[in-house]
Amino acid sequence: MKNKIKKSKFITKSIMKDAIVEALKKLNPKYMIKNPVMFVVEIGFFISLLSTIFPNIFGDKGSNLRSYDFIVALILFITILFANFAEAIAEGRGKAQAETLKKTRKDTSAKLLDLNGNITVINASELKKGDIVLVENGDIIPNDGEVVCGIASVDESAITGESAPVVKESGGDFASVTGGTKVVSDWLKVKITATPGESFLDKMISLVEGASRQKTPNEIALNTVLVSLTLIFLIVLAALYPMASYTGVKLSISTLIALLVCLIPTTIGGLLSAIGIAGMDRVTRFNVIAMSGKAVESCGDVDTMILDKTGTITFGNRLASDFIPVEHVSKEELIDYAVLCSLKDDTPEGKSTVELGYKLGSKVEKSKYEDMEFEEFTAQTRMSGVNLKDGTSIRKGAYDAIKDRVGKLKGAIPYGLDDIVNKVASLGGTPLVVCVDNKIYGVIYLKDTVKPGLVERFQRLREIGIKTIMCTGDNPLTAATIAKEAGVDSFIAECKPEDKIEAIKKEQSEGKIVAMTGDGTNDAPALAQADVGLAMNSGTTSAKEAANMVDLDSDPTKILEVVEIGKQLLITRGALTTFSIANDVAKYFAVIPAMFAVAIPRMQVMNVMKLATPYSAILSALIFNAIIIPLLIPIAMRGVKYRPMRSETMLLRNMLVFGFGGIITPFIGIKIIDLLITPLVRILNLG
């Protein structure tokens, strides 16, 4: 199924090698200061290392304590490396995908057209915004642009991964072309809409490799909380030293550092950046380009989703299903006139009308009507049809448009026509009324089918508290029927572009986060207004520029899955934060009692793990603190498994799984490590 995230190895040899190098490069304090929690750990490492080299600098004496300082420094160094490694792995996966995209970006030439239509071949990098270029069969489109003339098939597999060519033509919502794609038939004249280095492909590469990633609001807020907790524990530690001295417990500088590192939220501090990068990576592997991390994060907060009916909820190919004549008109007459006015109509509706008409026995001979005049459908007339050589005019169109036309020609509205139109609308179909001059003959029943599986998906969204609103140009009766069949919560009938903006603003005024999809120029204002705007890659340049996400597969229903990926990002961050803080609580019960039990025997009651010595307790907690980071990297990269449920239920579940698990895991892990390192502690004569 195309909508599934593209499968790839979690980590390759190449990514592993590059991540190790990057983890070492990130040790630079100028970089580490961006992550305050891990920067504190790095400072602790340098102090412990200094204490190892100059054992008397902080008043510590004895070769055994020197060995202890070295072990603490080594564990802290490994802790920092693991945190950097987690971020480097996330970046490496993005960079690997960016390299694949870079291979599609070739140094191409462009056939530049001047005002007289003369062709000058230049390098694509010399093109300017507004230039007109000619691309023919076999040519690579040199840069992003809009088709101004011609029609051709374009292979977009380099961008979308989809092998089937896409037809591009001037006008409408399929005029946008992307630099790096290939023309595989005919020719196009393209107006360049991007300057070199700022094309859609360039933006994709920059975003995927993380070059332009900035921290999201939620990430900044959580980072502030982590810094606050770190400062609180620094104050606690400053108060603990004189308390320990008073009770006769001598704490070395390395012990204080180890205690601080064990108690501050190093686990989530080391994984926070990786979680954010991995969230964008998951969206990208789903063939959606997010213009910022904030866009992905906003998906997880969506409260309301606004969806177009045609192409999103329904297939959009309204096909003729039946012919319903009015009283005193035979079905054969209606069929023949419906076929006649559709012979030159190349829309799916027109072609299906002709096909169904002939299946039902129409005797209309195409050859006799080749010279008749065809009137195309327009938004103003809301009808189409033909004018025969004998002056007869045949039209099919919306009920009110045909009704007005017949009224102007002083014709009568047949009895029962309203009932036929309402019946078709109540079935979720579209009624096209057929008239010949000033006489109405009946209705063509066009049927649009709701996409399978949408009812379940909308139910899934409802379970997590997301409201769905369907927008359609259909009349209220048809809209209500489709809305009921699809299972959406609400609908806007006879919807115009400005109605979508009003609907978005109304929801936002109530404090809700709104998502919507679109592909046309008239969708651009609404896409810009929405908190999450998903534009189709096949759509217009203005739509893609207005949105903050672009779907390379041009599948409007993908917004449903994108929202779930956003939810997964927020859940993963929350779950690992819960696990990290619960870890710190457990480590508190491991380290503090072991440290003070010698001076205050009654504290031995709190030493529930029965750790061997104060030093083995501290080292065990410190080692556990280091190794838990790489163990959680797969969860940070892949995300916590998402299950649709209410926020309250989700919070309770994660509190139980990651909160309770975060408390139990250190008790088990630290005890096992203590058993393993106790012999080493005794050999080093540490207590």
Amino acid, res. 197: G
Q: Do 499 and 470 form a contact (C-beta atoms < 8 A)?
A: no
Distance between CA 662 and CA 252 in Å, rounded? 29
Tokens of 210: 């993380």
Q: Is 110 helix (H, G, I), strand (E, B) or coil?
A: strand
Q: Is 523 annotated as a binding residue?
A: yes
CA distances for 157 relative to 89, 109, 204, 245, 677, angstroms: 27, 20, 15, 70, 56
Q: Do 449 and 497 form a contact (C-beta atoms < 8 A)?
A: no
Strand order in the sheet with 467-471: 288-290, 549-551, 532-536, 514-518, 304-308, 467-471, 490-492
Residue with tokens 């590192």: 261
Q: Is 400 annotated as a binding residue?
A: no
Per-position b or e across 49-61, b if 16+ CB within 10 A of its CB:
bebbeebeeeebe
Tell how far CA 594 is from the center of its chain.
Answer: 48
> Cβ neighbours of residue 377 under 8 Å, at least 6 residues apart?
345, 347, 383, 384, 397
Q: Is 379 annotated as a binding residue?
A: yes
- Rounded to the nearest 5 percent, the helix, strand and coil shares of the chain are 55, 15, 30
Tokens of 230: 């770190």
> Cβ neighbours of residue 171 under 8 Å, at least 6 residues apart?
none
Residue with tokens 């940070």: 636
Q: Do 341 and 386 form a contact (C-beta atoms < 8 A)?
A: yes
Q: Is 519 annotated as a binding residue?
A: yes
Active-site choice (308, 448, 551, 674): 308
Tokens of 636: 């940070």
Q: Are strands 119-123 and 176-177 parallel, antiparallel or unpaired?
A: unpaired
Q: Is 381 annotated as a binding residue?
A: yes
- Is-catalytic flag, 308? yes
Report the residue count for the chain.
687
Distance between CA 253 and CA 680 in Å, rounded? 21
* Residue 150, beta-bridge partner list: 188
Q: Annotated binding site: which residue ranges?
A: 345, 349, 377-384, 396, 519, 523
Q: Annotated binding site for Mg(2+): which residue ranges?
A: 519, 523
Q: Annotated binding site for ATP: which residue ranges?
A: 345, 349, 377-384, 396
Q: Which residues participate in catalysis according to the annotation? A: 308
